[in-house]
Structures are given as C-alpha cells and as structure tokens.
Structure 1
Amino acid sequence: MSKRTADEDAVAGPLKGGDRPDAMDIDEKPNDMGDFEDEFEDEFESEDEVLETGVDGRPDAEREADEAAMNVDGTTGGPATFIVGRTKLDPGQTLAPDPTTYRMLHNLSTPWPCLSFDIVRDSLGDNRSVYPATMYTVAGTQADSRKAGDNALMVMKFSGLSKMDGEEGEDSEDEDDDDEDADPILESKSIPLNSTANRIRTHQSRSSQDPSRLSTTITATMTESSAVLIHDITPHLASFDTPGTLITAQQNKPLSTIRAHRSEGYALDWSPLHPAGKLLTGDNDGLIYQTTRSDGGGFVTDTRPFQGHAGSVEEIQWSPSETSVFASASSDGTIRVWDVRSKSRKAALTMQVSNTDVNVMSWSKQTTHLLASGADDGVWAVWDLRQWKPSSSSAPDKPTPIASFDYHKEQITSVEWHPTDDSIVAVAAGDNTVTLWDLAVELDDEESKDTAGVQDVPPQLLFVHYQKLAKELHWHPQIPGALVATGEEFSVFRTISV
C-alpha cells in the first residue's frame, strides 16, 4: 500500500497501478434509531433556513471546501492514500509505502541490479515467525559496463529483518522478540562471471544419513553468452556462519558448463522430483535441452533438443507431481506440455494462450492441475490443465482460462503461486508494481455496490506494492507470507493481508 508524498527532486513516471482500498464502512440504509431530538430546533426558525445554511450549521461552500481537503480515510492534512482507479500522481509526486499495511518491509541494495534470483532453503526451520528474520538467496548481476569480471553470481544472507514498529506477532513467541532496534544486514559472497546472468535457479539435495538435513546446494545460471553454468555454492553458504572462512578460487569455478545452446536464453528449471539433479534449459531459438546429473556427480546433456516453439522459450517448469512432464511458455504465445519419454521430442499439448509473448508461468504446487501465465500485454491468467486436450489440427487450440485479469498495463515479468495456499498468487509487472491476488474472493451483490466506485479494480486484488523496475519475485518457502522481489533493488516484505 502507498501514500502520496511530494518530492521536489524526483518526478515519477506514469503509474498504471496502485492500491485497492479497504471497503469503506458506509451505511446507506435508513436510520433505524427511532425518534430523536432535533439539535437545530432552537437555533433556526424554519426548515428553509436549515437547508440554506447546511446540515452541520455551516454554509455549504465552507463545508464543501473542507470535504475537498479531507483524505479518503477521513483525516485532513498530510499525505493522502493512493487509490487505484481514483487517484493520479501529480507532477513532482512519488509514492511512499504505508507502514500500517505491512508486517515487515525492507529494501536492500546490491552493487548492480539483479534480473533474476532464487531463494535458498535453510536449516533454520519451517513455518517460522520469529523476528528478526534471516534468509538466504542467490542472484546474478547485470553490470552496465558488461566487462568480463564485472558481473558476478552473488550468494547472499539477509539478516536483521525486523517486523514493523508496533506490529504484533502472530505467535506468542513473537511477543518476546527484541527486534525493535534491529537493522537489516546484507552479507554476500561473489563468484565472478564473464557474462550477464539472465536467469538463475537452485537445486538442493539432502543428506543420505539424515534426509531432514540439506547437504548440497547447486545453482544453474543462464548467461548472455549462451553458456549455462552450474556451481556448487554449499561452501559459500556455510561461510556466513563460520567467520574467517575463505572461499578458494577452485570453489568459485563451475562444476560444469553446458554449451548446447547457440543463442542466449531465459528459461531453466530443476526438477523437484529428481534428488540428484535434472535440469531443463530453453533458448531464444525455441530449443529445449535436458541435462542430468549422473551418480558419479558429472552432468550429461542430451544433444537431442525438444523443439516445436516458433519463438523464444521464455519459461520452463517441471510438473510438481509427475517426474517426466514439463511445460514451456514462449514468445509465440503458446504454452506447451511435454513428456521427456517421447522419442519424437514433440509437445504432447500445444495451447495458444495469448496473442503476445508469454513471458512467465507458474505451476501450482498445491493443486497441480492449475497453471498461471503472464503475458506481454499485461494480462495474467489461470488455466485448468484438465481442460486441455490433444488436438488433431495443426493449429494450436485456444483454451478458455478459469480466471483472467487485465489489470496491469505493462508486461508481466513474474508470477508465482503461494507455496501453501492455492488461491493466493503474486504478480510482478513492468508498471513498477508487485500485486497480491486472492482467487477465492467473490463479492455478493451488496459488496459489489460498495466497490462500484473504484473502476477497473478486480475484487480479487488484495495488495499493491511499489517496486521500481520489478523483474522477479518469490515466496519464501519457510517464512509464511514473506515475499522477496528484485528490481532496482531487493525488496523483502510481508503484508498484513497474507
């Protein structure tokens, strides 16, 4: 949520998103309190005099001027709440977050912006709500200079992530947390790269002796040079908790370099169902390759690509429930579903889901027949894969989404289902916003009347967070409701609505 504030030194560009206000408590029904004494009975001699002067005893012009200066929350003076569909930024105004709408909010800067990142699971426990919070991430930089060595793979630890002042914890253990004076801290270990990182994903394996303990964390990085680099960042993560640990040059070297692609790409994903590691990578030529880690620890890439897309492969995701199935999204406007066991290397299903580039995609981990997609025209949609059937025609089918939202007016840059709630979705877009949605919301007739004045705001929209140059977001799998988004800087937050 945001408030408008004047900023003489910065002029904001057009903002095509904002916040959905909470429903206002307005009772339009007739007063049911019975008879009451007229407080103006002795002050005015006639009803005409009351109407002329105004219902509160002041001239109408004076009252209307005060109402015009009143903020939407009933207060006067100070910044006004930015409401989607009603409010526009004036020249010289920028948005500032409303702290009362967040449980946690921190911004952390890196030397260079990061187009892509991933959250690393840790051993601090699941479902934790203790503050200050700690989390681990890995990201790839985009240095302006593009010189060899200027870019890096950054392994990071965020700590000291305190809750908002006055925010009460959900659990009793939070009440004893002494985090009021905690400052956010970003620690990092850098692995030099010779090229910009387009996309990065992590894979973690567990100890054979103790399956509850994570033993190895590896990353795959798609670079602008078309090479895919695989690194073991286990020692880098361990060094944060062992002061004085030095990372050797050998530990910074990739375990493997995949050179199957002839063009750069942005799509890659590790299978969550293959403990050793099975990786898919897609490029701008529309080709998809599979790389598998052998029992000996080496990586083998199948030279036979999966092909069929008429445009670049923008996103790949393995099925969360079927070991041999994956989906891909492309700039050709299609989503295709594949089976790696197919000898033809052709897609089993091809669906035309947009007339523009399909940039991103997310497969629900809770309800695995649901898939969300985000396109270049700002539309994001939800699909029921049970409704997708193979077509005998050479032209791809055009399925009907079970939900579609044309709220963002710029390209969708990231979309992700909540890890434990199959009705909550987070979306990032090129209009500098991250939005949270609740697909379970349905308004009855009375509620629809109350929100009719807010134009173009779907009732499913829960929250809008301002994120300059928003590129990618991820829910933290171990801290319920916590989101991390990257753009001009990293934003770590949790709202009171999720």
Structure 2
Amino acid sequence: MVKRTADEEAAAGPLKAGERPDAMDVDDKHNDMGEFEDEFEDEFESEDEIIEAGVDGRPDAEREAEEAMDVDQAGPGTFIVGRTKLEPGQTLAPDPTTYRMLHNLSTPWPCLSFDIIRDGLGDNRSVYPATMYTVAGTQADSAKASDNSIMVMKFSGLSKMQGDDDEESSDDESDDEDADPILEHKSIPLNTTTNRIRAHQTPSQDPARPPTTLTATMTESTNVFIHDITPHLSSFDTPGTIVTPQQNKPLCTIRAHKSEGYAVDWSPLHAAGKLLTGDNDGLIYVTTRTDGGGFVTDTRAFQGHTSSVEEIQWSPSEASVFASASSDGTIRVWDVRSKARKPALTMQVSDVDVNVMSWSRQTTHLLASGDDAGVWAVWDLRQWKPSAGGSAAAASAAVQRPSPVASFNFHKEQITSVEWHPTDDSIVAVSAGDNTVSLWDLAVELDDEESRDTAGVQDVPPQLLFVHYQNLAKEVHWHPQIPGVLVATGEEFSVFRTISV
C-alpha cells in the first residue's frame, strides 16, 4: 500500500475548518507521480531456497512465533499499518505494485472541496488513458482572498500503472498508455474561500444538447452561490469556445445564512434542482428552482441542532426526507413537509463533532458517519424509531443513543470525508486528518478464514482493504462512471485505483 521514506520537512498537521494553507507550486499542465523505485525489487527474485511450512523440523508454534517477531522487526523501509509509527521528518511514498492507476495533479491553491461531474463518455468504462471532469473551490491565503475561484477542470491522459494487466480493461483500450496526465481548467472568480461545493445535473430536453450542470458553493462570506458551469464544461471539447464574463456570474446568490456553513446537498430526486444548505448557527434552509429557471429560498429555517450543521444529505429514495450531522454529536432526520420545521428523529451518535455523513445509494437504510475523534460508523435507519407519542416535537425533545451496525476507530485524527461505493453497498472510502484515505469492505466477517489471517496484525480491522497516503486529506469521491476509481483532494488532487477494488 505505502512505503515509508524520509522527507526533509516535518509533515504538516491536518487542516481544521477555517485554516488556510500556504500556496503551492503551480503546474499548468500536469504533475505526475513520476518514476517509482521499488527498494525491495530483488527481495524475492531468488528461487534457490524454497522452504515450505513444517519442513524445517521445528514445531509450528515456534516457527510462527519467529515469523511474528520478523514482522515486528520489519525494516525501516516498510510501513505496517497499525504497527509502524512515522518518525518526525518522515512521510510515506506509494508502492506502485498495489495500484492500477495513480496520478497527482496540482492547482495554484488547494481545493479542499470538489465534486465529480458525470460526462457523456459512457458508464462502466475501462479505457485508458482515462478522462474525467470535476469542479472545485479554492482556499487561497486569507491575504489573497481575491485569488479565490471556482475551478471547472478536465483531467485527461490518466494512464494505467506500467505493467498492470487489468483483466477488466477493454479490448478497445488506447495504445497511448504512457500519456502524461493533463489538467485543463476554467476559473470563475469568487473573491471568497469555498467551504464546500456540490454539483447537480438537469437532463436536457434536446438529446443533442448536454445536461445543464449547476454548482452550489458554500463560502466563508456566508453567501451561497449557484452557477451554471455548462458552458465551461463544453469549452474543453469545443475548440474556439470562449466563456464570457456574463457566464461567470452566479445564477443566484442565497443570502439567508447569517454565518458561514459547510453543509450543502442537491436532491437526487428533483431533476430541476432542490438544494439544502446548513450553517454554523445550526440553521437549515431549502432552495428550490422554479419552472421559470429562477431560485426561491424558503426563509423558514429548519431548527433543532444546538451547534453547527457540518453535513446534509437528501435521502436517495424519499424525495421529502433528509438527514443532517452536527458538531452537537447528533444526526437528525427531517421531513421538508413538516410545518413545525423540527426533526422527526434525533440520534446521539457521538460525544464529539460529527463532521461528515454518507447515505448508501444501494441500501438506503444504511448511513455512514465520521466524527472528530477519528471514529467512523455505520447505522441502520430501520432501528431508529421516534419517541413514544410519535410526534416530531416529542422525537426532537428525546435524544436517543442507537447502536451502530459497525464502528471503527482505526484513524486517530478527525474523519474529513466518508462515501459509499456507488454500486457496492459493502465498500466505503474514508479520508482523515492523519493524511490518509482508507478503503473498507464491510462484507468481511471476523470468522472468515481470510480475516483470521489479518487479525494477527495489531489494531488493523480485517475489513480494512487499503490505505492511501494523501497529505492534508480532506475529501474523497468515487467516480460514478469509472469503476473503482477514486479522486481525493488535500494539498493536491490524487486520482487512483487500487488492485483491491
């Protein structure tokens, strides 16, 4: 998964909300991972000595004890998850043999929130070099707020790792496997830091025209900006297209919030566009697109959280239901049809801030959450019941503490992102403030033969599939059309696919 190397500079700590990182080196074209050196390249090349278990005449227990000691005393070049601790001045480098694809791409300023845009290149594609489209918001230094922008981006030339023989690859795969990755972008001036950005697409009535792609940007200024980035996306693939200053202006500016916020989500069940936004005062607003193309914000806020709303998500199956996570340690479930604007369910899921949340698209009674203590958990919403009496008011007054389906405290810093695999309801991606992105398989059971093999490694749950190093890891998303591919952001963008997913 990763190998440990020395670095001259001490590793930076994770960003918390409101902190602004320093500027990074600008790479207008691309920033590939470059050449990898495998320091263990020759370790297993010799076939002169092959010793099978038990043939050395020693008792199995004695041999197994020695093997365990060998693991404990692994050399300084090998990082064992759950065992090895990085020393000051050390960082991690990837082991290329564990990746099918791995590229890093830099932007002028860190983009600590982004979204992946669905495109017209096809679903379930496996052609390399890969192409994808994203949108992100920058976090420029506070002294250079005017440098902030929304970046509409096209990543192309994303080739496989050299020597990878992925059996799933298409017969139509391009011969240009060694192409360098390219980052093209169009900038929309913003003049304020982006806290979180999410995209939504409305299908076109004309099959020959692309869908309309909208973005909602929660900002440090307390305003929420809605932009139409359709012309920016089209400009990448239509030579000579110029995006006009008018097209950079927001379609709508939501001014209902009196404090900045981090919670925003578009409904997947309202094609025209229905938006939730939550702020640090604990207030949640709904904004709906009208038949005429404008936007109307209901100024009657949903209230119930006693602290900031950190995450909001619409139900993937019920058009009027949404959930919110808060730094008050609760997750609350709401119905937009409620005249009382109070939660229908309130569950205490943590004793610290609940930073992020993800609703499974495949099994919609499952919800994942991540908190400030580094714990992420899975909840079965069928076990969450309103308080006696059944009224929303009674439910909001009684805070219940449910039991999770699964809970993991592998990460020792705050969870910064959690997302279910788009087609596999057992796979989850998690990013954390310990500069890592981890992949998990909830289908692995403790009594499986395979899990017993990994259970011997201290503090490593058998459900852990993979750990990817990402400096200042902030968000991770699965690509909905390229199976197994993830994009993570932090100090830079990382686009990767592992051999384990």
TM-score range, shorter chain: 0.7 to 0.9
Q: Which residue of 2 aligns with 1:164?
A: 161
Whole-angstrom CA distance in 1 between matches of 2:71 and 2:300: 67
CA contact under 8 A between 1:410 and 1:431: conserved in structure 2?
yes
Paired amino acid for 1:261: H
Question: Which residue number in structure 1 is paired with residue 40 of structure 2?
Answer: none
TM alignment of 1:200-349, pairs within 5 A: 200-210=197-207, 214-349=210-345
> CA offsets per residue over residues 188-247 of structure 1, 9 Å max, x none?
00000021011100110112243x974200100011010000000000000001222211
Q: Please name the residue that 1:45 is paired with.
A: none
The CA distance in 2 between the partners of 1:337 and 1:226, in whole Å, is: 24
CA 124–146 in structure 1, closer or farther in 2 if over 3 Å, else same: farther
Alignment-mate amino acid for residue 434 of structure 2: D
Taking only the aligned residue pairs, the percentage that are identical comes to 80
Match of 2:400 among 397, 405, 417: 397
Superposed CA offset, 1:258-310 (max 9, x none): 00000000001000000110001000000000000000000000010110100
Q: Alignment partner of 2:170: what SS?
A: helix
The 2-side partners of 1:360 and 1:232 are apart by 26
Mapped partners of 2:448, 2:282: distance in 1: 47
CA contact (8 A) 1:163 1:179 kept: no
1:415 to 413, 418, 431: 418
How far apart, in 2, do the equivalents of 1:329 and 1:226 lie?
19
Is 1:168–1:175's contact at 8 Å kept on the other side of the alignment? no
Q: CA separation in 2, counterparts of 1:267 and 1:92?
A: 35
Distance 2:451 2:243 in 1: 59
**Distance in 2, Cα, partners of 1:351 & 1:95:** 38
Q: Deviations over 1:352-378 (max 9, x none)?
A: 000000000000000000000000011
* CA pair 301-188 structure 1, distance change in 2 beyond 3 A: same
Bigger drift between 342-351 and 82-91 goes to 82-91
Q: Does 1:154 align with 2:154?
A: no
CA distance in 2, matches of 1:320, 1:367: 9
Q: Which amino acid aligns with 1:426?
A: A
Q: The residue matched to 2:370 in structure 1 has which SS?
A: strand
Provide the rounded CA distance (Å) in 2 between the counterparts of 1:446 and 1:296: 59
Change (3 A) 1:115 1:442: same
Correspondence for 2:181: 184
Asked whether the equivalents of residues 345 and 384 of structure 2 are also in contact (C-alpha less than 8 Å), the reply is yes
Q: 1:474 & 1:85 partners in 2: Cα distance?
A: 24
Rounded Cα–Cα distance in structure 2 between residues aligned with 1:469 and 1:6: 18
- 410-419 or 199-208: bigger deviation: 199-208
* Distance across 2 between alignment mates of 1:331 and 1:175: 49
Q: 1:330 to 1:92 in 2, by over 3 A?
A: closer
Q: Structure 1 residue aligned with 2:82, among 82, 85, 96?
A: 85
Post-superposition offset of 1:168: 1.4
Q: Which residue of 2 aligns with 1:10?
A: 9
- The CA distance in 1 between the partners of 2:450 and 2:432, in whole Å, is 28
Report if aligned partners of 1:146, 1:195 keep a CA contact under 8 Å in 2. no
Unaligned runs of 5+ in 1: 16-25, 39-49, 51-63
Asked if the contact 1:418–1:426 (Cα under 8 Å) also holds between the matched residues in 2, the reply is yes
Deviations 1:133-161 (A, max 9, x none): 00000000000144443100000000000
In the TM superposition, residue 85 of structure 1 has moved relative to its aligned partner by 2.5
Number of aligned residue pairs: give it: 451
Q: Does structure 2 retain, via aligned residues, the 8 Å contact 1:269–1:318?
A: yes
State the distance in 2 between where 1:167 and 1:175 align: 16
Matched, 1:366 2:358: no
Residue 256 of structure 1 aligns with an amino acid whose one-letter code is: C
**Within 2, Cα distance between the matches of 1:213 and 1:406?**
47
Secondary structure of 2:304's aligned partner: coil
For the residues of structure 2 that align with 1:332 and 1:255, how far apart are their CA atoms?
33
- Quote the residue 1:475 is aligned against: 478
1:132 paired residue among 129, 133, 146: 129
**Structure with larger Rg:** 1
Partner of 2:427: 424
Partner Cα separation in structure 2 for residue 345 and residue 186 of structure 1: 44
Q: 1:447 to 1:121 in 2, by over 3 A?
A: closer
CA distance in 1, matches of 2:154, 2:173: 24
Partner of 1:451: 454
Whole-angstrom distance in 2 between the partners of 1:95 and 1:180: 26
Match of residue 440, structure 2, among 437, 441, 444: 437
Q: CA deviation at 1:390?
A: 0.4
Structure 2 match to 1:47 = none
Letter of the 2:484 counterpart:
G
Distance in 1, matches of 2:270 and 2:247, equals: 24
Q: CA deviation at 1:395?
A: 3.0
C-alpha separation in 2, matches of 1:199 and 1:448: 37
| Contact map agreement 1:10 1:94 (CA 8 A) in 2 | no
Runs of 4+ off more than 6 Å: 26-29, 67-71
Structure 1 contact 203–219 (Cα < 8 Å) conserved: yes
How high is the TM-score relative to the length of structure 1?
0.86
TM-score for the superposition, normalised by structure 2: 0.85
1:116 is aligned with what amino acid? S
The one-letter code of the counterpart of 2:345 is: L
Q: CA deviation at 1:71?
A: 8.8
Q: Is the 8 A contact 1:363 1:417 kept in 2?
A: yes
User: For residues 264 and 12 of structure 1, do their structure 2 counterparts lie closer, same or farther at Cα, with a shift above 3 Å needed?
Assistant: closer
Separation of aligned partners in 1, 2:51 and 2:299 = 68
Cα contact 1:123–1:213 (8 A) shared by 2 = no
> What 5-or-longer segments of structure 2 have no aligned partner?
15-49, 59-65, 389-393
Partner of 1:459, secondary structure, is coil
Q: CA deviation at 1:177?
A: 2.8
Q: Which residue of structure 2 aligns with residue 58 of structure 1?
A: none
